[in-house]
Amino acid sequence: MSQAPGAQPNRPPIYHERQRLELCAVHALNNVLQQQLFSQEAADEICKRPLSQLALPQVLGLILNLPSPMSLGLLSLPLRRRHWVALRQVDGVYYNLDSKLRVPEALGDEDGVRAFLAGALAQGLCEVLLVVTKEVEEKGCWLRTD
């Protein structure tokens, strides 16, 4: 725990985790909660567990931030950039609407999109944002309770 620079001596101590590796989400959670509650392992487990509990019919779409390899022509570079990808259900079929694809890629039903998400999460350094209506967000019904 560190005191913020320039902090007044009469102010209470402020919990502040500094950046380590690429754990900024963990640090942000702990800093907001003002104590070390989350570890990388705990955050990873939380990310994996809600995958099976997602109430996909309640989710309008998903946006993934994935590592994306860089290349110059046929030469692959040892660098990775980040790329945003959209997933959405249309007429009962989930699609990968990645802007780098020539055409949308059919992922299939809920099992297909869950398999795609599991594969993306297994690669590591993947973020998933859920797009839901205000009503779904307020009710918190994007997760199954069973």
Q: Any residues with CB less than 8 A from the CB of 4 and at least 6 apart, and which?
A: 14, 16
List alpha helices for 14-60, DSSP H.
24-33, 40-53
- Give mean pLDDT, residues 15-31: 76
Q: Does the active-site annotation cover 24?
A: yes
27 flagged as catalytic = no
Domain spans, the chain: 41-139
Active-site entry in 24, 27, 47, 126: 24
Work out the pLDDT band at 61, boundaries 50, 70, 90: very high
Q: What confidence score (pLDDT) does residue 5 get?
A: 60
Q: Which residue has the tokens 């993934």?
A: 64
- pLDDT-based confidence at residue 90 (cuts at 50, 70, 90): very high
- Mean pLDDT on 62-75: 78
Of residues 16, 27, 47, 83, which has the active-site annotation?
83
Helices in 1-146 by DSSP H: which ranges?
24-33, 40-53, 110-122, 134-139
Residue 23 reports pLDDT greater than 80: no
Burial of 126 (0-12, 13-18, 19+ CB in 10 A): middle
Q: Using 50, 70 and 90 to split pLDDT, how confident is the model at 86? A: very high
For the domain bounded by 41-139, which CATH number is listed?
3.30.1490.420
| Residue pair 80/70 in contact by the 8 Å Cβ criterion | yes
Threshold 0.75, pTM exceeds? no
